[in-house]
Amino acid sequence: MTRGRYWTSRNVPYSQSATYPDSEGTRYRTDCSGFVSMALHTNHPGYSTVTLPEIAVRIEWDQLQEGDFVGTLGAGTGGDDGHVVLFHSWVDSSRKRFKTLECRGSQGCVASERPKAFEVGSKSALPYKYKRVI
């Protein structure tokens, strides 16, 4: 979460082609999946919404912890057809909405909120845990 806050505190502009350095100077794409890749400290310039599942395991909604990610990922989610966010916390005990860190459209990299299982096109977002947590 600290790595994600580095970009949100600077409101890094969203772009599917531009890059921006992390706190160590390594450049990542400034789209949603590049942001999540940067926050997880993965390979740079970052995974895509299509390839992020290669480094993750699907988890259940009640298993989400700060730093996990939620997205419409996998085949058919490239470009504007997918989205991924870092999970921060549930908004309240109903667990219908959650707080995020994410990069999106004209807002850039920001703290935000999303409904559980938000949709992008015909796909509903699912929760994931990074495989390489140390």
Domains along the chain with CATH numbers: 2-130 (3.90.1720)
Per-residue model confidence (pLDDT) at position 132: 84
Which one, of 81, 80, 55, 78, lies nearest residue 68 by Cα? 55
**Contact present, 49 and 32 (Cβ < 8 Å):** yes
Per-residue model confidence (pLDDT) at position 11: 95
Mean pLDDT for the stretch of residues 104-128: 96
Per-residue model confidence (pLDDT) at position 94: 97
**Contact present, 99 and 112 (Cβ < 8 Å):** yes
- Burial class from Cβ neighbours inside 10 Å (0-12, 13-18, 19+) for residue 81 reads middle
Per-residue model confidence (pLDDT) at position 133: 73
pLDDT at 134 over 80: no
pLDDT at 16 over 80: yes
Tell me the whole-structure pTM to 2 decimals. 0.96
CA atoms lying within 13 Å on the CB side of residue 117: 9
At 36-71, the pLDDT tens digits run 999 999 999 999 999 999 999 999 999 999 999 999
Locate 75 and state its tokens: 């085949």
At 55-111, the pLDDT tens digits run 999 999 999 999 999 999 999 999 999 999 999 999 999 999 999 999 999 999 999
Per-residue model confidence (pLDDT) at position 89: 98
- Residue 39, Cβ neighbours under 10 Å: how many? 27
